[in-house]
Amino acid sequence: MKIADRKSLIIMGDIMPLPREKIDELFQAATTGDVAIPATDIQCLLALEKAWSLTQPFAGKTILFNQHLTKITLIEIWVLLRAGADVHVTATEDLKIHANTLGPICASGLPYYEKGTIPEGIKFDAVVDCGGTLYARNLGPNIELTHTPQSFYSDGTYPCISVDGNAQGEGTKTKKIETMCGTGDAFIRRLYQELQAQLLLAFRPVAATLTLRLPAFIGASMSPSAMIRDNQYIVFGYGKVGEGIVAALMSAGASAKNISIVDVDESRQFNAPPETHFFHLEQNKGDSSYNDKRERIKTQAESAFCVVMATGIENALSNHFDQQDLAKVKIIANMGTPDEIGFRFKEGEQLPFGKGTANFSELDFPTTPIYLDAIFTLLLRAVHEAIFNIAQYKPGFNVVDQKIDRQVLGEWTRINGGKKWSHPDVYRKLRDIINGDAEIRALLRPPVSPPHSRLVSEEAADEKPPRRHSDPPTALFRSVSCPPDVRANVNPTVPCAPHFA
């Protein structure tokens, strides 16, 4: 039967199973080619696929999948299909689609709805969402990947199960691997890539002369690493994402005293590195101290090389500043899902990544797959909750069961805890999170080897890094200082020699 005929059957309510070879083509598309996901980076997802392909929990179930379409999300779709699900795919207007992903999806015969144009009358057993864009349409129980305002869900008929959290700080610990570790790593990789491009441009001769187009801010720092190390930064927002960006900057060589943090929550200064500068900026502009604090931030911006947005709030920067206020800043980057830079800033040299999420421009892997393995596993476990345990969740906003959150984080840690990491300051924070949770620690004893998968050789699965006599016996993370992994398709966990002195 032709693919078009299969789509017609689906729309009429009849489900025809996708051929096994078509399902596995999605996996091959994600794990082969110039930009390939290493199987060692997705061990949790592979373990879930191995279990679910035997039990077929989603047989006869229809799932709508709405996320950024990248190579790693092909793996998510593949796991759902191997578990028996009938998967429909879309990407609403605010989500990114990588060129090497849409082709395999359409070629497989999966129903694809452009920009969220789902036909009227279709209901789903579960809706995987990113940014809360589909919840109001009452298509079925939602599973939400990212941080969204709880107000989105106030009038809903169905439960929404979030694998992130809420504004009160009640959320999953697994999400911190992505937001605190993966996003910080991604920002450094994207900044490194941009600085490298600017250096190459600076040393191109102008016309037939030997004049160099050398931006003034480069000065004596003639390498991306030195430029990251020697410049000053302002990070707006010190939640999970902002905390990870600050830690990654420090791991890349930036001094804490050269980093300023701006947040509406004054209590977050106690979580920040002591030598950083913390500015509390109220959302209420009528506060008597607002103008004074705003002027102090403007003064700080006169010597800042880069402003990074990590608040999760649309127009957050434009709500307080305009482009003239930050005229001396060389790079403004948005690391949030919405446009946090906003309407007062025009795109141009100051916004080399545009107003979208910076790591989704140019990088083959906006977040390195190993940082997404756990949260995507938790997301798929939440799909199972939405279909089989929905009575445990009320209509509107919910956070996924903490027990499942701990199970996934514990599994990811057992698999990856012995690796050496590119950003030791970030992983020190993650280690503290895990060590501080007795239930997660209990899951780590006795040690469990990585699951053997038919996609990974037994030798590779059993291979362990050499143990140094100085390592404590219960260490979860062993770290070395090394340069940021600027090649997005290279596993960031490969040990490398110390770089920053």
pLDDT per residue as tens digits for the range 289-335: 899 999 999 999 999 999 999 998 999 999 999 999 999 999 999 99
Mean pLDDT of 392-421: 88
Residue 277 lies inside a defined structural domain of this protein: yes
What integer pLDDT is reported at residue 55 of this predicted model? 97
**Full DSSP string of 385-452:** HHHHSGGGS-SEEEEPPHHHHHHHHHHHHHHHTTSEES-HHHHHHHHHHHHT-HHHHHHTSS--PPPP
Is residue 106 located within the same domain as residue 47? yes
Residue 121 lies inside a defined structural domain of this protein: yes
Top-confidence residue, 286 or 454? 286
Number of domains in the chain: 2
Range of the domain at 145: 20-173+368-443
Is residue 247 located within the same domain as residue 274? yes
> What distance in Å separates the CA atoms of residue 468 and residue 470, rounded to the nearest whole number?
5
Q: Which two tokens stand for residue 91?
A: 């990407």
Q: Give the tens place of pLDDT for each residue, 36-52.
A: 999 999 999 999 999 99
> What distance in Å separates the CA atoms of residue 195 and residue 224, rounded to the nearest whole number?
5
Is residue 28 located within the same domain as residue 151? yes
Is the model's pLDDT at 276 over the cut of 80?
yes
Is the model's pLDDT at 401 over the cut of 60?
yes
Residue 213 lies inside a defined structural domain of this protein: no
Mean pLDDT of 406-427: 76
What is the reported pTM?
Answer: 0.78
Is residue 355 located within the same domain as residue 382? no
Residue 491 lies inside a defined structural domain of this protein: no
Is residue 405 located within the same domain as residue 374? yes
What integer pLDDT is reported at residue 430 of this predicted model? 65
Backbone φ and ψ for 42, nearest 5 degrees, come out as -130, 45
Is residue 92 located within the same domain as residue 146? yes
- Residue 398 maps to which CATH number? 3.40.50.1480
Domain boundary among 360, 392, 411: 360
Is residue 243 located within the same domain as residue 263? yes
Q: Give the tens place of pLDDT for each residue, 2-11.
A: 444 444 444 4
Backbone φ and ψ for 390, nearest 5 degrees, come out as -65, -25
Residue 318 lies inside a defined structural domain of this protein: yes
**How many Cβ atoms from other residues are within 10 Å of residue 16's Cβ?**
14
Domain boundary among 443, 466, 481: 443
Mean pLDDT (the chain) is 81
> What distance in Å separates the CA atoms of residue 52 and residue 350, rounded to the nearest whole number?
48
**Cα torsion 340, 342, 345, 349: sign:** positive
Residue 86 lies inside a defined structural domain of this protein: yes
> What distance in Å separates the CA atoms of residue 273 and residue 110, rounded to the nearest whole number?
48
Is residue 260 located within the same domain as residue 341? yes
Q: How far apart are the first and last CA of the chain?
A: 63
Give the residue carrying structure tokens 């699965």: 461
Is residue 394 located within the same domain as residue 261? no
What integer pLDDT is reported at residue 335 of this predicted model? 94
Instruction: Find out whether 111 and 95 touch, Cβ atoms under 8 Å.
Output: no
Is residue 330 located within the same domain as residue 377? no
Q: Which amino acid is at 11?
A: I
Is the model's pLDDT at 404 over the cut of 70?
yes
- Residue 317 maps to which CATH number? 3.40.50.720
Residue 470 lies inside a defined structural domain of this protein: no
Determine which of 98-102, 357-361, 433-437 has the lowest per-residue pLDDT on average. Answer: 433-437
Nearest Cα residue to 304 out of 326, 280, 275: 326
Q: Which two tokens stand for residue 220?
A: 């004596």
What integer pLDDT is reported at residue 443 of this predicted model? 55
Residue 237 lies inside a defined structural domain of this protein: yes
Is residue 402 located within the same domain as residue 350? no
Is residue 280 located within the same domain as residue 413? no
Q: Which amino acid is at 39?
A: A
Domain boundary among 360, 386, 413: 360
Exposure string for 334-365, b = 16+ CB within 10 A, e = fewer: bbbbbbbbbebbeeeebbbbebbbbbbbebbb
Top-confidence residue, 422 or 206? 422
